[in-house]
């Protein structure tokens, strides 16, 4: 396994359409994170899964956003009724569970969403 | 709440010269600090992490970071910059103690190395 995989790499959609992104974490990692990054900013936390349980959602995650990790492996992030403000890079990261706070997150290459 | 600050939007350095990218932190409890690098249209790559007790931490690609508790800083350094080091650099702190252990990132510093 070579790392965290995200698909698609790029997505262009019209305002009002729904989009779905997929993340495949490193296989033995049971922690999965979604972040959003806009131009000139650092990544902002969106949501977190431990196995299949979604344990935290940021206030950035409006009702139009939903994330799932049905079998504790891959995850999907869906945005309904997209708005131009949703244009950003969506990053997925994974890590091992456990009590080691020094364990880094491993990021995928992201999905760049452009809403026209 | 945990936070990091990167005071410089951009750092310019000539190839072969030493470089420093600054980061200061604010934490309650022990600091768990990280540096990541991002190349255009790519995700973040882990460079190094702070290890308790080590004031100088070595990482990937010849980078190192200097931890200073009294100044609450964790600056990224490299003795001799390469043009290929030009990228966006992020400092991050772990939000430890909650359910997620998520990383909180700074706003990033663009490093430009001139040949």
Residue A77, pLDDT above cutoff 80:
yes
Query: Out of B43, B100, B105, whose CB is closest to A110?
Result: B43
Alpha-carbon distance values, B26 to A35, A36, A111, B35, B107 (Å): 21, 22, 31, 15, 15
Bridge partners, B113 (sequence order): B13
Residue B91, pLDDT above cutoff 90:
yes
Torsion sign over Cα A23, A28, A33, A35: negative
Looking at CA atoms only, how far is residue A44 from chain B in angstroms?
A: 7
Residue A46, pLDDT above cutoff 60:
yes
As a whole-number percent, the residues of chain A with pLDDT over 70 amount to 97
Residue numbers in A near B41 (CB within 8 A): 109-110, 112
pLDDT at residue A31, as a whole number: 92
| Contact: B108, A106; criterion CB under 8 Å | no
Residues B74-89: tens digit of each pLDDT: 999 999 999 999 999 9
pLDDT band at B28 (very low <50, low <70, confident <90, very high): confident
Mean pLDDT over A58-74 rounds to: 92
Question: Which of A23, A45, A69, A101 to probe the B interface (max B CBs under 10 A)?
Answer: A101
Looking at CA atoms only, how far is residue A50 from chain B in angstroms?
A: 8
Alpha-carbon distance values, A51 to A24, A72, B33 (Å): 13, 4, 25
Tell me if A21 sits within 8 A of A11, measured CB to CB.
yes
pLDDT at residue A90, as a whole number: 97
Nearest to B11 by CA among B23, B1, B3: B23
Rounded Cα gap, residues A109 and A52, in angstroms: 22
Query: Out of B32, B41, B90, whose CB is closest to A112?
Result: B41
Higher pLDDT, B78 or B101: B78
Mean pLDDT over A53-77 rounds to: 93
Helix or strand or coil: residue B108? coil
Nearest to A24 by CA among A84, A98, A77, A102: A77
How many cross-chain Cβ pairs, A to B, lie less than 8 Å apart?
65
Alpha-carbon distance values, B96 to A98, A105, B2, B82 (Å): 12, 13, 9, 34
Alpha-carbon distance values, A52 to A20, A26, A32, A73 (Å): 18, 15, 9, 8
pLDDT at residue A99, as a whole number: 61
Residue A88 Cα to chain centre, angstroms: 11
Residue A1, pLDDT above cutoff 70:
no
Tell me if B113 sits within 8 A of B81, measured CB to CB.
yes
| Contact: A91, B44; criterion CB under 8 Å | yes
pLDDT at residue B9, as a whole number: 96
Mean pLDDT over A12-32 rounds to: 95
Mean pLDDT over A2-31 rounds to: 95
Least confident of A13-22, A33-42, B15-24: A33-42
Least confident of A10-19, B12-21, B35-44, B105-114: B35-44
């Amino acid at each position: 396994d070579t790392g965290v995989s995200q698909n698609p790499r790029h997505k262009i959609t019209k305002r009002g359409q729904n989009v779905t992104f997929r993340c495949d974490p490193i296989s033995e990692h049971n922690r999965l994170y979604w972040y959003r990054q806009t131009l000139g900013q650092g990544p902002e936390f969106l949501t977190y899964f431990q196995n299949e349980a979604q344990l935290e959602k940021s206030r950035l995650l409006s009702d139009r956003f939903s994330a799932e990790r049905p079998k504790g492996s891959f995850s999907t992030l869906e945005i309904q009724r997209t708005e131009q403000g949703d244009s950003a890079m969506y990053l997925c990261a994974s890590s091992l569970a456990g009590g080691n706070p020094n364990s880094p997150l491993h990021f995928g290459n992201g999905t760049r969403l452009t809403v026209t | 709440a945990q936070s990091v600050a990167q005071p410089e939007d951009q750092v310019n350095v000539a190839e072969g010269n030493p470089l420093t990218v600054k980061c200061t932190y604010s934490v309650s409890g022990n600091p768990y600090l990280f540096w990541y690098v991002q190349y255009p249209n790519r995700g973040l790559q882990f460079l190094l992490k702070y290890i308790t007790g080590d004031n100088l931490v070595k990482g990937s690609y010849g980078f190192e970071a200097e931890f200073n508790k009294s100044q609450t800083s964790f600056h990224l350094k490299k003795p001799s910059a390469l043009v290929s080091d030009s990228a966006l650099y992020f400092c991050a702190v772990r939000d430890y103690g909650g359910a997620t252990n998520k990383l909180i990132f700074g706003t990033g510093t663009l490093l430009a190395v001139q040949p």
